[in-house]
Amino acid sequence: MNAILKDRNSQIVRAGADTKTIACNKPSLAGAVSQRACVFCGSRVVLYPIADALHLIHGPIGCAAYTWDIRGAMSSGPEIHRMSFSTDLHEKDVVFGGEKKLEAALLELIDKYQPKAAFVYSTCIVGVIGDDIESICKKVQALKQIPVIPVHAPGFQGTKKDGYRAACEALEVLVGTGNRPAQEFSINILGDFNLAGELWILIDYYKRMGIHINATITGDGRVEDVANAHKAQLNVVQCSGSMMYLAKQMKEKYGIPFMKVSYFGIEDMSDALYEVATFFKSDDMLTKAKEIVRFEFARLMPELVKYKQALQGKKAAIYVGGSFKAISLIKALRLIGVQTVVVGSQTGTADEYEIIKQLCDEGTIIVDDSNPAELSAFVKETKADIFIGGVKERPIAYKIGLGFCDHNHERKEALAGYEGMLNFAKEIYATAMSPVWKFTK
Amino acid sequence: MELAIKKTETFTSTRNACKLCSPLGASLVFKGIEGCIPMIHGSQGCATYIRRYMISHYKEPVDIASSNFSEETTIYGGNKNFCTGIDNVRHMYNPAVIGIASTCLSETIGEDIPRLIREYAQLHEGEQIPVFIHASTPSYQGSHMDGFHETVLSAVASLANEGATSKQINIFSGFISPADIRYIKEICDDFGVEYMVFPDYSDTLDNPHWKDYQLIPEGGTPVAQIQNAANAIASIEFGTIMNKLVSTSKSSVAHTAGEWLEKHHSVPNTRMPLPIGIEASDVFFKTLETISGIPTPRHHARERGRLVDAYVDGHKYVFGKRAIVFGEEDMVLSMVAFLHEIGIETVLAGSGGESNSLKKEIDALTSGLYPNMIVMNNLDFETINEMVDELKPDIFIGNSKGYYIARRLKKPIVRIGFPIHDRFGAQRLHHIGYRGTQELFDRIVNALIEYKQEHSPVGYKYI
């Protein structure tokens, strides 16, 4: 048995040792047990938090069943997004076409749930059987007077990343259709999904600085806010993998500049606040940002120092959705004394992998689109103590005696912002210091 | 209850499905074959979603490969991806068996998987290649249970072959927990009989702790036992509900592995509901007695005795209570019969399964004593949600996806079956036999006691 397939070598590099650039943005190898999902998944996770929209999945039942209430994306109001709607295509629909069923489903669901818009996701077989989703959406939109937007997401038409783009394209249809008056110092928060209420933590910081939040896309999202997103002066983009496309399009169409930020870890969180203040060229904002940072830093550091003392010398492996988040995690771990020895992501970019290579200690393994066989071999080789990943990585870690922290979209603890850094440290501490590991050695 | 049905609108769409898709059932069965790695012939997402779903329930690594369809594959056919996929799986996992499940996509574009397997075998003639099992599981046909049954049938039909006579008893135990499977094996060991439990994911989906990562966990039904199924003295099959609307790939006459073995290899088959409750468990033990000629071992007879004793001790807590039961059809059917046995009335029994025979089976098993019970196939959770208020249930019994309804009504829910994503230890829950019934009875009684205690103005320390 061999942990690494020959064709996967180009997607694995070692910091310090390798001069080659990592290959990424490739389809997964056939037969590999990739940790990635598909185009549909990418679009679904991005649009999911829009809470007052109907999300109808056009296809057989699986795609809808597996994404029912899938993320801990919280809403301060309506919760239509937590329902799973499917046209549940059967054999006869596959043979005779699913258009009628789609139309009937849309009409009944819009009547019942009164959403502000509807997203219609096409899944694998829809394209193959030739359903004309566009025209059904147009027809229903005219009838019901709400935006009915097709999301082109057949699973096989690319990778999860292409699904992000499909989601952004669907959002683009909405953006610019609202005509709320613009406000001063207003930003859109792009790419935070309000997992465990993280968005609300961030909004609080921005508000304390005197910034107006125009739209949050898509965490705690509302159709009307998305429609008015073009009224903001700045797009602040986190999770750049999923939202960069929208930010770039909005720059082109509406001239709205964007900046990339991360809200994980003290350093990156503080930078985000400073950069936004700097953008608005406001000394007052900058002063307030500094106050927030000073206050939070003073509050957090004594706690973090305690964790750092306990965790010093521990080694971590990171495998997350995007490489941008991985960068923040490496820094956040360093702050609490933990060295990163494996870093990987499902859909990272070459630039970010390069930053990771520079940032990490020599010998750190950097990997794109990995799988259980590789990951387990890497953590063994590097003697990692803790794994940071998602649900699919958890059993790999636990099974061979590593601690684990869920940093994926099913997390129930807020990990963003200063509060989040403290939670993160607590969680790493809890998993690393548990007495149970003595039985697994 | 006519009223409740009339009041509920009917929907074309499925709202919060009470079923999963067919390849998930296939993957479960493949996980129950020794040395087997499942490969789903379709898009990457299918494998990943199913892995995530199973991992959250079993808390175990679940490796499922994908042939990872691309645009090109979909237009020109999946031959290349299939062969590369198999090569890569062999290279990384070196499996004894590869279980291939189709998907809605590969079926819709007309992939001929048996041909792909034949071609692969020809290409690698002379090499030691894995055993291939193929299940046809398009998710537009039926639910995960149909995929499960299809795969059990496919595996048996493609592997079983006649040889020397054997004393093996085939037990096709249906979709039960790893703990349930271990318990069946313990029972058979105590009887001292030769047996095969298939599928046996009692180890592969509930492994002990490992020192090193096991790419293919140990355990599973050995291929040799499945091959030998044709020579067995008898088959016992749990589950009486088959979706006859779903065409199986192996035979138009046999819908289950037990039926197939009976028709093609004259192995007598006894089909029974999942043995939940005393009466249903008695049927199972009696059948084992009849086949083996050995009386139920004392250890198990005493377990039955203690269960009767518990029924008596607890009967007043449960009598007359109203239950809502949902999940897989066979699980629902057996639960309703068990609840009937202890004096709980099921007011709604529902499943996303599509056999349309749930009502008939429930009536048969409960002697038609509940003419008012609402029994629904093709049901989704929102339909339950819209009906429950008027049904005034005291308890919900089903998988964790129904939690939100119980929460809204502030009523207890006892979690059984699959998936259990919001409680710990799903893989260790027992459902069947005297032991499983005991565990279920305790949990139901305690849920009702806890509810009563928490809603009592007096903080009783004894109830």
Q: Are B43 and A380 an interchain contact pair (Cβ–Cβ within 8 Å)? A: no
* Cα angle A420-A425-A430, degrees, rounded to a multiple of 5: 125
Find the CB nearest A88 among B13, B84, B213.
B13
* Whether B31 contacts chain A with CB within 8 A: no
* Of B405 and A391, more confident: B405
Q: Report chain A residues whose CB lies below 8 A from the CB of B98.
A: none
Q: Is the Cβ pair A396, B61 closer than 8 Å?
A: yes
Are B445 and B318 within 8 A, CB to CB? yes
Give phi and psi for B320, each to the nearest 5. Answer: 80, 0
Q: What are the beta bridge partners of residue A387?
A: A317, A404
- Burial (Cβ within 10 Å: 0-12, 13-18, ≥19) of residue B13: buried
Check CB contact of A97 with chain B, cutoff 8 Å.
Answer: no
Q: Measure A159 CA to nearest chain B CA, in Å.
A: 8
Please report the residues numbered 171 through 200 in chain B whose beta carbons come closer than 8 angstroms to any beta carbon of chain A. none
Taken in order of first residue, the domains within chain A and their CATH numbers are 6-23+312-410 (3.40.50.1980), 39-174 (3.40.50.1980), 186-290 (3.40.50.1980)
Beta sheet of B269-272, edge-to-edge order: B195-198, B169-172, B234-238, B269-272
Burial class of B425 by CB neighbour count within 10 A (0 to 12, 13 to 18, 19+) = exposed
- Residue B251 above 70 pLDDT? no
Q: Does A210 touch chain B (CB under 8 A)?
A: no
- pLDDT beyond 50 at A1: no
Lowest mean pLDDT among A263-277, B214-228, B449-463: B449-463
User: Using CB atoms within 10 A of its CB, is residue B45 exposed (0-12), middle (13-18) or buried (19+)?
Assistant: buried
Q: B66–A398: do the CB atoms touch at under 8 Å?
A: no
Q: How far is CA A90 from the centre of its chain?
A: 32
Tell me whether residues B44 and A155 touch, CB distance under 8 A.
Answer: yes
Cβ contacts of A228 within 8 Å, gap of 6 or more = A178, A179, A180, A214, A215
Q: Up-side HSE of residue B249: CA atoms within 13 Å toward CB?
A: 26
Exposed, middle or buried, A208 (CB in 10 Å: 0-12/13-18/19+)? Answer: middle
Task: Determine contact, residues A242/A217, Cβ cutoff 8 Å.
Answer: no
* CATH entry 3.40.50.1980 includes domain B2-14+306-454: yes
- The reported pLDDT for the residue numbered B1 is 41
Taking the CA of residue A305 as centre, how many other CA atoms within 13 Å lie in the half-sphere pointing to its CB? 6
Instruction: Tally helices (H) and strands (E) across chain B.
Output: 18, 14
The two tokens of residue B36 are 């087997």
- Is the CB of residue A158 less than 8 Å from the CB of residue B138? no
- For residue B16, give the nearest of A67, A257, A47 by alpha carbon: A67
Q: What are phi and psi of B270, to 5 degrees?
A: -115, 115
> Are residues A214 and A183 in contact, defined by beta-carbon separation less than 8 angstroms?
yes
Q: Which of residues 61-90 of A touch B (CB under 8 A)?
A: 61-68, 83-90
Task: Report CB contact under 8 Å: A31, B60.
Answer: no
pLDDT of residue B70: 85
**Are residues B265 and B250 in contact, defined by beta-carbon separation less than 8 angstroms?**
no
- If you search the block for the tokens 């999770």, which residue do you land on? A239
Q: Which of A11, A33, A375 to mutate to test the interface with B (most CBs of B within 10 A)?
A: A33
Using a CB–CB cutoff of 8 Å, tell me whether B100 touches chain A. Answer: no
Nearest CA in chain A to B247: A91
Q: Phi and psi of A270, rounded to 5°?
A: -65, -45
Could A31 and B85 be called an inter-chain contact, meaning their C-beta atoms sit closer than 8 Å?
yes
Cβ–Cβ contact B55 with A under 8 A = yes
Length of chain B, please? Answer: 463
Cα B381 to Cα B388: distance, rounded to the nearest angstrom: 10
Asked if the Cβ–Cβ distance from B215 to A1 is below 8 Å, we say yes
Measured from the Cβ of residue B125, the count of other Cβ atoms closer than 10 Å reads 7
Q: Give the C-alpha separation, A236 to A261, whole Å.
A: 7
Computed over its alpha carbons, how large is the radius of gyration of chain B? 22
pLDDT at A279 over 90: yes
Q: Which residues contact A126 (CB under 8 A, 6 or more apart)?
A: A58, A59, A98, A133, A154
Q: Does B91 touch chain A (CB under 8 A)?
A: yes
Q: Where in chain B is the domain with CATH 3.40.50.1980?
A: 2-14+306-454, 22-272
Residues of B (396-415) whose Cβ lies below 8 Å from A:
401
**C-beta of residue A72 within 8 angstroms of C-beta of residue A391:** no
Beta-bridged to residue A150, according to DSSP, are A120
CA distance B375 to chain A (A): 21
At residue B8, the pLDDT reads 60
What is the C-alpha to C-alpha distance for residues B377 and B400, in angstroms, rounded to an integer?
19
Q: What SS3 state is found at B252?
A: coil
Alpha helices in A73-123 (DSSP H): 91-96, 99-113
- Per-residue confidence band for B107, with pLDDT thresholds at 50, 70 and 90: very high
- Write the DSSP string, B185-232: HHHHHHHT--EEEES--TTTTS----SS--SS-S-SB-HHHHHHGGG-
CA distance B154 to B162: 16
Strand, helix or coil at B356?
A: coil
> Can you tell me which residue has the tokens 């993998």?
A241
**CATH number of the domain at B22-272, out of 3.40.50.1980, 3.40.309.10, 3.90.1150.10, 3.40.50.2300?**
3.40.50.1980
Two tokens, residue A295 = 């206050």
Residue-wise pLDDT tens digits, A148-195: 999 999 999 988 899 999 999 999 999 999 999 999 999 999 999 999
Using CA atoms, how far apart are residues B34 and B55, in angstroms rounded to an integer?
Answer: 19
- Contact with chain B for residue A430, Cβ under 8 A: no
Q: Exposed/middle/buried for B461, CB within 10 Å: 0-12, 13-18, 19+?
A: exposed
**Tens digit of pLDDT for each residue in B116-128?**
999 999 999 999 9
Token reading at A133: 């989703």
What the block records as the tokens of B186 is: 């313990």
The whole-angstrom separation of Cα A368 and Cα A312 is 28
Asked if A83's CB is within 8 angstroms of B15's CB, the reply is yes
| Candidates B42, B74, B94; nearest CB to A1 | B94
With CA atoms as reference, the chain B residue closest to A392 would be B52
**pLDDT for residue B7 is more than 60:** no
Measured between beta carbons, the chain B residues lying within 8 angstroms of A394 are 55, 59
What confidence category does residue A236 fall into, taking pLDDT thresholds of 50, 70 and 90?
very high
Does A42 contact B at CB distance below 8 Å? Answer: no
Name the minimum distance, in Å, from the CA of A91 to any CA of chain B: 5
3-state percent helix, strand, coil for chain B, nearest multiple of 5:
50, 15, 40
Question: Which residues of A fall within a CB distance of 8 Å from B15?
Answer: 83-85, 109
Q: Give the per-residue pLDDT at B4.
A: 45
Partner-chain residue, chosen from B24, B86, B143, that has the shortest CB–CB distance to A31: B86
ipTM: 0.95
Residues 6 or more apart whose CB falls under 8 angstroms from that of B200 comprise B32, B181, B185, B219, B220, B221
Cβ contact, residue pair B81, A30, below 8 Å: yes
* Alpha-carbon span A96 to A94, nearest angstrom: 6
pLDDT score of B301 more than 50: yes
H or E element in which residue B99 lies? strand B97-102
Residues above pLDDT 90, as percent of chain A: 87
Determine contact, residues B14/B382, Cβ cutoff 8 Å: no
With H, G, I as helix, E, B as strand and everything else as coil, classify residue A345: strand
DSSP for residue A23: P
SS3 assignment, position B444: helix
Interface-testing mutation among B12, B13, B36, B380, with chain A (most A C-beta atoms within 10 A): B13
Query: Which residue's structure tokens are 């933990």?
Result: A338
Q: What is the mean pLDDT of chain B?
A: 94
Task: Let me know: does A29 contact A152? Beta carbons within 8 Å.
Answer: no
> Is the Cβ of B247 closer than 8 Å to some Cβ of chain A?
no
Confidence band (pLDDT; 50, 70, 90) for B6?
A: very low
Phi/psi of residue A111, each to 5°? -60, -45
Taking CB atoms and an 8 Å limit, are A60 and B13 in contact across chains? Answer: no
Q: Is residue B109 within 8 angstroms of chain A, CB to CB?
A: yes
pLDDT of residue B2: 42
Q: What is the mean pLDDT of residues A422-427?
A: 97
At a CB cut-off of 8 Å and minimum separation 6, what does B456 contact? none
Residue A52 is predicted with a pLDDT of 98
Decide the pairing of beta strands B345-350 and B97-102.
Answer: unpaired
What mean pLDDT comes out for the span A422-433?
A: 96
> B278-292 and B329-342 are packed helices; what angle lies between their axes, rounded to 10 degrees?
110
d(CA A388, CA A408): 9
Strand, helix or coil for residue A295: helix
CA distance B206 to A325: 32
Q: Which residues of B touch A409 (CB under 8 A)?
A: none
Residue with tokens 């689109």: A369
For the record, the structure tokens of A343 come out as 């870093």
Which amino acid is located at A102 in the chain? L
Give the pLDDT score at B119.
94
**Which residues of chain A neighbour B105 with C-beta distances below 8 Å?**
124-125, 128, 155-156
Is residue B245 pLDDT above 80, yes or no?
no
- Helices A417-433, A266-279: inter-axial angle, 10-degree rounding: 170
H or E, element range at A316: strand A315-320
Task: Report the distance separating Cα B413 and Cα B176, nearest Å.
Answer: 19
Tens-place pLDDT, residues A68-127: 998 889 999 999 999 999 999 999 999 999 999 999 999 999 999 999 999 999 999 998
Query: B317 and chain A: CB distance < 8 Å anywhere?
Result: no
Q: What would the pLDDT profile of A131-142 be if each residue is shown by its tens digit?
A: 999 999 999 999
Q: Does B85 touch chain A (CB under 8 A)?
A: yes
Give CA–CA dist A40/A156, Å, rounded: 9
Question: Percent of chain B scored above 70 by pLDDT?
Answer: 96
Average pLDDT for residues A217-245, to the nearest whole number?
95
| Chain A partners within 8 Å of B215 (Cβ) | 1, 372-373
Counted across chains A and B, CB pairs separated by less than 8 A come out at: 246
pLDDT at position B252 is 57
Contact B84 A29 (CB under 8 A): yes
Q: Which residues of B200-233 are buried (b: 16+ CB within 10 A; e: fewer)?
A: bbbbbbbbeebeebbbbbebbbbbebbbbbbbbb
CA distance B164 to A77: 68
Query: Look-up: residue for tokens 């565990």?
Result: B439
Please list every residue in chain B whose beta carbon sits closer than 8 Å to the beta carbon of residue A83.
15-16, 382
Inter-chain residue contact B13 with A56, CB threshold 8 Å: yes
Nearest Cα neighbor of A123 from A200, A40, A54 is A40
